Structure 1
Amino acid sequence: MRLLRYCEKTLEALVALFMFCLVAMVFTNVVLRFGFNSGIVVTEELSRIVLSMLILTGAIVAMVQQRHIAMTLLVDRFSPVFKKITVMVTGSIMLYGTWLLGSGAWMQAKLNFSSNYPLSGLPSATIYVVASFSAAMLCLIIFARMMLILIGKMPADRFFQAASADVAE
């Protein structure tokens, strides 16, 4: 459990670092363009990469902390057995969609390992590797929650708990 908490805090720190880098690059470029009529050309490319990494890492953090938006109006009225069935169906759909993301990103990564971004020189596969890693982590989280609910270690309500539940409290 301590390891999971450490991983979560590490991902949060990465999100904060990516956000800081993104703001710093964009702010610096705006100041240089308007103040000195110049700019750092590579920041446009790097900000695109960092934004993608920020979004993908943030998706993992949101899934771990159950901060995704959920529509639980109908599910809240289900019986516990039907909630479990709904968890298995929706979890399977989520796993399939995440698998599509991961396998597609990995295919793109394999195609782009040999090419580099023109300005920064970073491998073009960078974003796709991060997307594959994010998809693997999301699949792991979804599958683990499905199994915990299936064996009775976690109530089915927790699968659908999301940001909307915080507002009600």
Structure 2
Amino acid sequence: MARIIDLFYRLLDLVMILLLAGMAVMVFLNVVLRYGLNSGIPVSEELSRFFFVWLTFIGAVVAHRHNMHMGMETFVAALGRRGRMLMMGVSDLLILGCSWVLFLGTWKQLPINASMTAPVSGLSMAWVYGTGMFTAVMIALITATRFLRLVTGRITEDEIAAFAGERHQFDETPASGREGGAQ
């Protein structure tokens, strides 16, 4: 199961790379065409904006998986193990609540936006606004899984350290081994 999840996040990484590359190519090409030929590709402006929205929302999911969002790390790092676990639980419940609000808001807005089309490309605006639903569901799944491990006592010390900002979950070396250069 862990391998499937890792493959899914690698796929998200690949999608983000493609979105960023697509944005760069479209914007660069438009600049060259406008400067050199006094023309442009109108759809590229619209699509690059859409790509940016998708990149941001997918990036939020990937960042959440690695505990890279802003937090009160100075406060949490000063706490002991029990305090960190309590703060992790409170944080997880707040994140689940915010994810629910994002999902519900997107759910209510999606039918309205699905009936509208983008002016140049003609794409349904549901493709743009629907990313909120994807993000809400994915962040809620990540958080609910972590919260379940927390309340059942299966949370790892690495996860607690990552929550406190002592290391990121994708780091290969332990936090104590970084300073001395040991691997």
Normalising by structure 1, what TM-score? 0.90
The farther-off stretch of 77-86 and 136-145 is 77-86
The farther-off stretch of 68-77 and 93-102 is 68-77
Matched with 2:141 is 140
The farther-off stretch of 23-32 and 70-79 is 70-79
C-alpha distance 7-53 of structure 1, shift in aligned 2 (>3 A): same
The percent of aligned pairs where both chains have the same amino acid is 32
Matched with 2:155 is 154
C-alpha distance 90-8 of structure 1, shift in aligned 2 (>3 A): same
**Uncovered stretches (5+) of structure 1, i.e. residues with no partner:** none
Matched, 1:61 2:62: yes
Counterparts of 2:78 and 2:52, CA distance in 1: 39
Counterparts of 1:38 and 1:87, CA distance in 2: 53
The farther-off stretch of 49-58 and 147-156 is 147-156
Q: CA deviation at 1:71?
A: 3.1
Q: 1:33–1:39: 8 Å Cα contact kept in structure 2?
A: yes
**How many pairs are equivalent?**
168
Q: 1:102–1:132: 8 Å Cα contact kept in structure 2?
A: yes
Counterparts of 1:104 and 1:73, CA distance in 2: 32
Counterparts of 2:10 and 2:161, CA distance in 1: 21
Matched, 1:131 2:129: no
Partner of 1:98, secondary structure, is helix
Note the aligned Cα RMSD (angstroms).
Answer: 2.0
Normalising by structure 2, what TM-score? 0.84
Matched, 1:46 2:50: no
Partner of 2:155, secondary structure, is coil
Q: 1:106–1:128: 8 Å Cα contact kept in structure 2?
A: no
Matched with 2:97 is 96
Q: Which runs of 4+ in 1 moved over 4 A?
A: none
User: Highest relative contact order (Cα 8 Å, sep 6+), 1 or 2?
Assistant: 1
Counterparts of 1:9 and 1:29, CA distance in 2: 30
Q: 2:161–2:167: 8 Å Cα contact kept in structure 1?
A: no
1:117-161 Cα deviation digits (max 9, x unpaired):
111010011112121011100111011111112211114614615
Counterparts of 1:89 and 1:149, CA distance in 2: 11
Partner of 1:93, secondary structure, is helix
C-alpha distance 161-25 of structure 1, shift in aligned 2 (>3 A): farther
